Amino acid sequence: MESKKKRSSFSGQIGFVLAAAGSAVGLGNVWRFPYLAAKDGGGLFLLVYVILVLTFGFTLLTSDLAIGRKTKLSSIYAYDNIKHGWKFLGILTFIVPALIMTYYAVIGGWITKYFTAYVVNDMNAAAKDDYFGSFITSKVSPIVFMLVFMALTSWIVYSGVEKGIERISKIAMPIIFFLVIGIAIFALTLSFKDADGTVRTGIEGLKIYCVPNFKGLTVKKFLITVLDAMGQLFFSLSVSMGIMITYGSYVKDDVDLGKSITQIEVFDTLVAFLAGMMIIPAVYTFMGKDGMAQGPSLIFVSLPKVFKAMGPIAGRIVGIVFFLMVGFAALTSCISVLETLVANCMELFKASRKKVALILSIIYTVASIIICLGYNVFYFELKLPNDSVGQLLDIMDYISNYLLMPIITLLSAILIGWVVGPKTITDEVTKNNEKFSRKPIYVFMVKFVIEVVMVILILQAFGLLKF
């Protein structure tokens, strides 16, 4: 097995924070967060999400990073190192990115396609109702764009931790941050007059997004909002899927882990907030509240219509900048997923990074092609336990994110809270005598709260609990 002395590492705290934030800041922030916020009442979802980040998110992130740094191992062996006999939990954790990687590059290819369309083609085509559907059901085009995205991801992981992942994160994260801010500010300046004379503005959309509306709020609606926000944490912070354990294993012992966790929380939540701020006001301005209710198709169907309504010049520029930013966000996340698999397989098979990265890249290229063909050649519809209907991509997503991640979180909380004790984690966070002001919150959450909420999520995922 790879020794601790030879193990790759980040150059320092800045490199680690940017890489970890790069993993966290992905499609969960710029795609899933805005449409959930729009669906669940804007300000109410935002309020609930921030509270959960400071409690649940902080606890899960702390556990994963501390386990990684303490063991200097990837997830398969890390849990067994913490407590002998718990290797099965590491294997479960490995399965999550193994499933996610089958489709992440596919979505990355979709983003690459839209970016290309705004750069070289007439942007009006992307705004047509059937544009997205025609593209993903094509037998060739989605595969071509997926291959481009996959090749870039593989090359960066192949290059290593410091020369590949850390280097691209130091470039991509500032670009993402400033692009998000720029588009968000621009969205607030927008205004549009409907055919009936109704004028809507970006500022009005911002109010809908930020101000909680408790009118007509029911217990059922509130619980759905809480569970949606809880589910978003898994996407947004890259927890309970082995990624942060792997990244934690690359952190040097002299890094202030508690301070780094706070920085990752702040960066990730800020980008998620700004993503909602750039999307929801713009969609509201040109499409009203009906446009905000488009759900997962918000980026690929609703936003191109918004860009078209901005005019031929402004719309094209904003479209290019937007899909460039989303592309960077998807890339940094896809890198972290593949890196987790590579790190585990290097330990499992005692093989070199370059060999493992190359083999896994080939395997997941083939898997991604199959997922692409799931919208045409291998198309079928399967009813899932939550009453939704899914194809190949949806099934992979459902198993990994809705079933396995809550189960992993539950088992991890039991291990830390009741088997080895929270002190195992808190001692790692304070190993250099750093302050850990949120220690009481961590202990309470990991021992009493996480278990209850995860059981609810698991029951809901299996269709045994419905609201």
Higher pLDDT among residues 178 and 345, named by residue:
345
Confidence of residue 347 (pLDDT cuts 50, 70, 90): very high
Q: Compute the average pLDDT of residues 169-192.
A: 86
% pLDDT > 70, the chain: 95
What is the pLDDT at residue 280? 87
Confidence of residue 24 (pLDDT cuts 50, 70, 90): low
Confidence of residue 5 (pLDDT cuts 50, 70, 90): very low
Query: Which residues lie across from 389 on neighbouring strands?
Result: 383
Q: Could you count the other beta carbons within 10 Å of the beta carbon of residue 454?
A: 23
Q: What does the DSSP assignment read for 18-83?
A: HHHHHHHSSHIIIIIHHHHHHHTTTHHHHHHHHHHIIIIIHHHHHHHHHHHHHHTS-HHHHHHHHS
Chain segment 406-454, per-residue pLDDT in tens: 999 999 999 999 999 999 999 999 999 999 999 999 999 999 999 999 9
Highest-pLDDT range among 31-35, 141-145, 285-289: 141-145
Per-residue pLDDT at 62 exceeds 60? yes
Chain position carrying tokens 């519809």 = 381
H/E element, 207: helix 202-210
The answer to whether the CB of 396 falls within 8 A of the CB of 102 is: yes
Taking CA atoms, 400 is separated from 42, 161, 330, 410, 442, in Å, by 27, 25, 18, 14, 25
Per-residue pLDDT at 93 exceeds 70? yes
Chain segment 183-237, per-residue pLDDT in tens: 889 999 999 988 888 899 999 999 988 988 888 889 888 988 988 888 888 877 8
What is the pLDDT at residue 22? 67
**First-to-last CA distance in the chain?**
47
What is the pLDDT at residue 1? 41
Per-residue pLDDT at 182 exceeds 80? yes
> What's the CATH code, domain 13-377?
1.10.4160.10
What is the pLDDT at residue 292? 67
Per-residue pLDDT at 28 exceeds 80? no
Q: Compute the average pLDDT of residues 382-392.
A: 87
- DSSP H stretches of helix in 129-256: 131-136, 141-158, 167-188, 202-210, 219-237, 243-249
Per-residue pLDDT at 4 exceeds 60? no
Chain segment 305-346, per-residue pLDDT in tens: 889 888 889 899 989 988 988 888 888 889 889 999 999 999
What is the pLDDT at residue 466? 78
Q: Compute the average pLDDT of residues 7-14.
A: 72
Average pLDDT, the chain: 89
Confidence of residue 2 (pLDDT cuts 50, 70, 90): very low
Query: Which residues lie across from 201 on neighbouring strands?
Result: 191
Could you state, in order of their start, the residue ranges of all structural domains in the chain?
A: 13-377
Chain segment 282-291, per-residue pLDDT in tens: 888 988 877 7
